[in-house]
A and B are shown apart, each in its own frame.
Chain A
């Protein structure tokens, strides 16, 4: 079973929400039931995929083991950095092995949802080291990792926020509010994905440039496809994210939102504050900020701006590699890395920007430039650019 795609998922979800709603209205904690429901949905998710299930089990046992080990060290006051590094390496290793294996067409340790469970496990390991997580019960940790609603593709929740929701109780009106929002989010998400996403995908017909048409025609057609794909991806992914949020709400977990009208952004930095937000925030907190902090402490760069620029390139380069070790994704990641660095330099150094940034005409120009840059990046991501470039090279 695929989550949020097949009728069976929605039918089973509708059934599974009923006991959650009873508990919610009764003012009880939903988490124990939510955990059992999650195990049920995960068993459906893996279905016949025994290999994936074993890889998943391996990951959970590994992450659980090293995290408890690290937490114990911190609780004792030992704070062993060696244990921290081992733990971090252990939770990242399966994803890295899987991604590298994929390059050679091998499925090593891979399972559906490996990326998102890794993000969550890494966050816990890092925040234990930072002393932000002082206490985390075994149950809450497992529930955080295994909660089914955002399991396959996010949004990426944070453990402290998640546990707070999982352990609280709601009054009947509070839960009624959450439940009605949850249902509406599920419906809206389904509509995004199945109606608008499908319509947009219909217009996406990527082709290499054809000698039968003028260059202008070819470019206009490519532009149309890039936009069609961009809107398709938005409706598909945002729709999915809304549904994941909706399902979470029904179980009393307020999973954070993933999209906030990304195509109105006036620069690419703002775009990433609106697009796949939980991923870009995760990367910001755990890659970019950490890099900037280390760089500042060790005085690697003379200026803060240089430091930030290198940070962006690493941050987004990693994001590209995470999507998959292929030319398209790596180019996509570094394209954004350099673009964000350039934007940062432009905004900090250019007097013209500072002078006009409040003007309406300037905002409109910025918006138009931004959306076209974003859609150009989409064409790299979708492989459309690859098709066109390959077509031009091979004639």
Chain B
């Protein structure tokens, strides 16, 4: 009927047909614009891609590719590729997970596979979970037994400190090595998100993780907006939300915290689309900004440090007595200006001026309001571990008592904090290594809040026991 009407217009006066002609022009112009934009986008991308392969910025940084294992099991599904065989997670082996080099992305990942990083950059800098997962898988394939050690600023290294896990495990073959995930300012919420994402990327070796918890996380209101936004990784958030083993409830906790800490709702929805419209927006976003976020990865490549030769020596067992003697000697050499066990540079710059100021003032009122928000974030980390089936070890790090006793965080205040963390672990049935009793040990902490010469040795011993438990000697 409609057709008949349309046709009947054929005989109508010319003026009657004008609207149709006009509509034709309008639609034609729209289609032309759309085709033009899409074409420009696709053509532009093709140009970018060819430019990348013509003058590969990564060329020469790495040794030629040495494909290992079975190339039939390559795991490359493009930008957000993920392994689909989730059912066989309990017995994962990564032999042959070298990325396929048929795409620019695959070529980039293959570079990381061939030369995984050692300590630097601190892994917190790599927002790209797939890069991190590729390096971990690569080291697993090489029989390197890397294990996840999560934490914050204590992971950074000062010289000399042979007990720092990067050297202790890196320069010897004690059966395992650590991949250190986190950096200064990265707190419970980031750790929870990162772990969920690493699990989704199939990069939690041996289904175990150790987390070093810092007291500073629980001061004030917990994670600040600034540090959260600085540390936020879109890829980690996306993967956390995609992880089928994480409950809806935990996902909602992360989402509402991210909103609370300043992330936009539209942005979060586009990262983890649920409704049809969010999926369309996410698809559009992908189309528009594809292949543009490799900057951080490039920086990471520049900071690369090769894995020390010691990792490939014969399997050995540490001589703990000797190690402790060396740690004390190193500590004594580093702390020549004070008896507090604070390394000289830190003592001169911060500790001494502060102590002089503090001793001349009245002691501030005791702090008791340890952040409930941080506690909830910490519980989210433990909950995520439970949901994805990863066994955590919580390392409760002490602080330097000789310093904090003068602050609002005095002994009784700190006991409240330690109780809080222990309580959360007990509540979720998680093991912890409690070093709160080492607050007065001279060389346990290297400054007021970071693990030092002896402290790391204690932790290393726990890590070995935790990660090697159940393994063949």
Q: List the interface of chain A (C-beta within 8 A of B).
A: 1-2, 6-9, 11-12, 22, 25-28, 44, 47-48, 171-174, 176-177, 179-180, 183-184, 187
Contact = CB atoms under 8 A, between A and B. Distances in A.
Interface in B275-309: 275-281, 284-285
Interface of B: 1-2, 5-6, 9, 12, 16-20, 22-23, 25-27, 30, 266, 269, 274-281, 284-285
Contacts of B277: 1, 6, 8-9, 12, 44, 47
A28 B26 CA distance: 23
A204 B345 CA distance: 48
Given A7-B284, A27-B5, A173-B9, A48 B274 contact: yes
A180 B27 CA distance: 8
A115 to B, nearest CB: 21
B278 to A, nearest CB: 7
B280 A176 contact: no
A14 to B, nearest CB: 9
Contact of B278 (A47, A171, A179, A184): A47
Nearest to A9: B277
A7 B20 CA distance: 28
Contacts of B1: 26-27
A27 B9 CA distance: 12
Contacts of A47: 269, 274-275, 277-278
Contacts of B285: 7
Contact of A11 (B6, B25, B284): B284
A180 B25 CA distance: 9
Contact of B19 (A11, A12, A173): A173
A11 B280 CA distance: 8
Contact of A173 (B20, B266, B269, B279): B20
B5 A176 contact: no
The 4 closest A-B pairs by CB, nearest first: A26-B2, A1-B277, A177-B19, A8-B280
Contacts of B266: 2, 6
Contact of A1 (B6, B16, B278, B284): B278
Contacts, number: 80
Given A48-B274, A180-B22, A12 B280 contact: yes
Given A2-B266, A173-B16, A183 B275 contact: no
B2 A25 contact: yes
A174 B19 contact: yes
Contacts of A26: 1-2, 5
Nearest to A40: B276
B2 A27 contact: yes
A172 B16 CA distance: 9
A176 B22 contact: yes
A25 B6 contact: yes
Contact of B281 (A6, A48, A174, A183): A6
B403 to A, nearest CB: 39
A176 B278 contact: no
A172 B5 contact: yes
B274 A172 contact: no
A183 B20 contact: no
A44 B279 CA distance: 11
Given A44-B276, A48-B275, A176 B281 contact: no
B275 A28 contact: no
B301 to A, nearest CB: 33
Nearest to B287: A7
B284 A180 contact: no
A180 B26 contact: yes
Given A172-B5, A173-B19, 16 more contacts: A1-B278, A6-B266, A7-B285, A11-B280, A25-B2, A26-B1, A27-B1, A27-B2, A27-B5, A47-B275, A47-B278, A48-B274, A173-B17, A174-B19, A176-B22, A179-B23
Contacts of B19: 173-174, 176-177, 180
Nearest to A43: B275
A27 B275 CA distance: 34
A184 B30 CA distance: 10
Contacts of B30: 183, 187
A172 B12 CA distance: 12
17 contacts: A2-B266, A6-B281, A7-B281, A8-B280, A8-B281, A26-B5, A44-B275, A47-B278, A48-B269, A48-B275, A172-B2, A172-B5, A173-B16, A176-B22, A177-B22, A183-B30, A187-B30
A375 B281 CA distance: 36
A183 B278 contact: no
B11 to A, nearest CB: 13
Contact of B20 (A1, A11, A28, A176): A176
A24 to B, nearest CB: 9
Nearest to B280: A8
Contacts of B12: 173
Contacts of B17: 173
Contacts of B5: 26-27, 171-172
A171 B15 CA distance: 14
A27 B284 CA distance: 35
Of the listed residues A1, A176, A177, A187, the one surrounded by the most CB atoms of chain B closer than 10 A to its CB is A176
B182 to A, nearest CB: 31
Contacts of B6: 25, 172
B26 A184 contact: yes
